[in-house]
Amino acid sequence: MFGGAYAGKRVLVTGHTGFKGSWLSQWLLRLGAKVAGYSLYIPSQPSNFEVLHLADRIEHCEGDIRNLEGLLQVFQDFQPEIVFHLAAQPIVRSSYDEPKLTFDTNLGGTVNVLEAIRMTPSVKAAVFITSDKCYENVEWEYGYREPDRLGGKDPYSASKACAEIAFSAYWRSFFHSGDMRMATTRAGNVIGGGDWAKDRIVPDCIRAWADETVPMIRNPVSTRPWQHVLEPLGGYLWLGAKLYGGNEPGLAGEAFNFGPQAEVNQPVSKLVDEMVKTWHGSRWENGAGSIAGNPEAGLLKLCCDKVLHRLDWSACLSFEENVKMTAEWYFEYYAGQKDMVKFTEHQIDIYENLAAQRAMAWTAS
């Protein structure tokens, strides 16, 4: 997988205790990488990081991404060859409550990682994960492309747009003529087992059903490009492998959208209905208009032509497969599955096999 690019490599993941970061760390271990993580805290209880016992299996470093001195120390000690930057304040609704924290973390943290890379010659490739919400969303019917205007009506979206601008400035000022290769990625509405963040549709439903209560869905008609966590992570890993190899023109300094096929863009109501098929006897209620809150986008999707042409990457799961893998992970966990590491490995194995059957470029030997 990924041309064997990660076997024996020192890979640093910021935000490794989070939902995506913990899945990425697990996959990197499977690929033979030596993994270190840098994160301030465990973001939820339960947490996928703890369920997968990652503190005992990687070099687990506690620290605030806003603290450049602490971050630099980890870079100097570990001497990473490849960096994946995921550390963030990831919740749109939380950004209304803590706007300064959101900007300090998402913008300031990104600048700190860029500074740490600039001061660490061992780093040869880096992938910065921002968000599909970095675009100025006017809710048009076609997908946003990488050159489209950046912006954001809420602090979270704006902070991610700012992070993209900071990345571009650093790339053009310090890196474009050197040997270090890096790029940014934009993906959103990632689902999968092990996400227990607040104000996300899948964890909110799972928590309710596990407690035998009925979730109220605040925006059932909102349409999103749902994708299982392994889909964009596979894209990030493929991009990182290509950047590290250094033989692919047109990748370094660029931004890339990672999203599902058009038919996977579905309303929230269909997502929940599909999860109900695994959680038999569960149901949900339409809470539109009854739950006070700050505004959220109604329509958002990405155009992924660039990553198809530059990386020969595309998502491979159907909408039903995305949701089934997600719901089954939670079902196993709440049914008392004692070895979730093994079950998570099993799901990665299923995904790799499906990707190989569907001739995804990163699976070729």
Q: Which helix (H) or strand (E) holds 38?
A: strand 34-39
| Radius of gyration, CA atoms only, the chain | 19
Identify whether 1 is part of a domain: no
Supply the DSSP string of 79-129, one letter for each residue.
Answer: --SEEEE--S---HHHHHH-HHHHHIIIIIHHHHHHHHHHT-TT--EEEEE
Q: Which residues contact 84 (CB under 8 A, 6 or more apart)?
A: 11, 12, 13, 14, 21, 24, 126, 127, 129, 236, 240
Identify whether 324 is part of a domain: yes
CB 361 within 8 A of CB 311: yes
Of 104-113, 121-130, 257-266, the range with the lowest mean pLDDT is 257-266
Q: Residue 41 belongs to what domain range?
A: 8-363
Cα–Cα distance between 268 and 221 in angstroms, integer? Answer: 6
Cα–Cα distance between 58 and 78 in angstroms, integer? Answer: 12
pLDDT of residue 93: 85
Identify whether 227 is part of a domain: yes
Closest by Cα among 74, 16, 27 to 49: 16
pLDDT in tens, 184-234: 999 978 999 999 998 889 999 999 999 999 999 988 988 888 999 999 999
pLDDT of residue 74: 98
Residue 67: pLDDT over 90: yes
Give me 349's structure tokens. 């194995």
Cα–Cα distance between 287 and 195 in angstroms, integer? Answer: 22
Identify whether 26 is part of a domain: yes
Categorize the per-residue pLDDT at 295 as very low, low, confident or very high, splitting at 50, 70 and 90.
low
In three-state secondary structure terms, 22 is helix
Identify whether 2 is part of a domain: no
Give me 188's structure tokens. 């959103």
Identify whether 270 is part of a domain: yes
Identify whether 295 is part of a domain: yes
Give me 283's structure tokens. 């149901």
Q: What is the mean pLDDT of the chain?
A: 93
pLDDT of residue 299: 66
Percent of the chain residues topping a pLDDT of 70: 97
Q: Whole-prediction pTM value? A: 0.95
**What's the number of domains the chain is made of?**
1
CA-to-CA separations, 348 to 1, 233, 338, 360, 361, in angstroms, rounded: 12, 11, 18, 15, 17
Q: Is the sign of the CA dihedral 241, 244, 247, 251 positive or negative?
A: positive
CATH number at residue 207: 3.40.50.720
Identify whether 280 is part of a domain: yes
CB 46 within 8 A of CB 106: no
Cα–Cα distance between 185 and 126 in angstroms, integer? Answer: 11
Q: Is the sign of the CA dihedral 322, 325, 328, 332 positive or negative?
A: negative
Residue 21: pLDDT over 70: yes
pLDDT in tens, 341-354: 999 999 999 999 99
DSSP letter (8 states) at residue 135: B
